[in-house]
Amino acid sequence: MAACGRDFSVAVTEDIELFAWGEGGRGHLGLGAVLHQQQPARAGGPELFGNQRIRLASAGFCHLAVVAEDGAVYTCGHGVDGQLGLGDGQRRRRLTRVPQALFAGSRVVMVSCGFSHTMAVTAAGHAWTCGYNDKGQLGVVDRTNRLGFTQVDAGQLGGARIVMAACGGAHSVVVSAEGRVWTFGHGLNGCLGLNDEQDRLVPALLSAEVFEGSMIVMVAAGAPRCMAVARGSEREALGVGRGILRPAGPG
């Protein structure tokens, strides 16, 4: 398993060893120091993760998030906007466990890092966000940053059970168990898939017609773009740009 941030990369081995390398000026390599690393260096192992295997890792601009099989979340790096979800704007040079109580006691099953925000999905089917919110990328009605993980109002998501999430540079995407998709945040270049370039401060549901009735099973987000994988008569990757959904092709 591996993840890439702006100028750094991390990899997880089968033996629960986490290695990081690249630019590390804000502590996001988790090596305990602010330095650059020209080759993979061990950032943590079984002793850090309670002998739990790593479910996934996600890297942002200058922060890192890791989820263990027991549902624990660990973050490190640049935290000035609250993107580490630890309740303050402090930098962390080593991966620090986020208190599970912040997620109403529920296990986290996946996490995604944007430029300066983070989103987590819990086993209870809820989406939680923290960090920078200038474009509404946290989905919490306003543009105020959140230093700790805040639940996205389930009512804004139609009470759906959320099973997947992806963070772009300044926008976010979530997918329900039924394959429905909501987007929110910066609408530049139509990356929200809503046929305009407006920002959305709360989740906006994409019409099923946009996906030709297909169930969405996976999403990914960049800066600024989105992609969805649909399951229908055939599996197809669909990309969003300038507000138009279309099959993703070369380039």
Task: Tell me what pLDDT residue 180 has.
Answer: 95
Task: Tell me what pLDDT residue 251 has.
Answer: 32
Task: Tell me what pLDDT residue 159 has.
Answer: 96
Q: Which region holds residue 116: left if phi is over 0, alpha if psi is between -120 and 50, else beta?
A: alpha
Q: In the chain, what are the domain boundaries?
A: 2-247
**Closest to 34 measured CA to CA, from 82, 78, 2, 4:** 78
Tens of pLDDT, residue by residue, the chain (251 residues): 899 998 999 999 999 999 999 999 999 999 998 889 999 999 999 999 999 999 999 999 999 999 999 999 999 999 999 999 999 999 999 999 999 999 999 999 999 999 999 999 999 999 999 999 999 999 999 999 999 999 999 999 999 999 999 999 999 999 999 999 999 999 999 999 999 999 999 999 999 888 888 899 999 998 878 899 988 544 444 555 433 344 343 33
CB of 92 closer than 8 Å to CB of 75: yes
**Closest to 25 measured CA to CA, from 89, 72, 77, 87:** 77
Is 2-247 CATH 2.130.10.30? yes
- For residue 30, which phi and psi values (nearest 5 degrees)? 70, 25
Task: Tell me what pLDDT residue 239 has.
Answer: 54
Task: Tell me what pLDDT residue 246 has.
Answer: 41
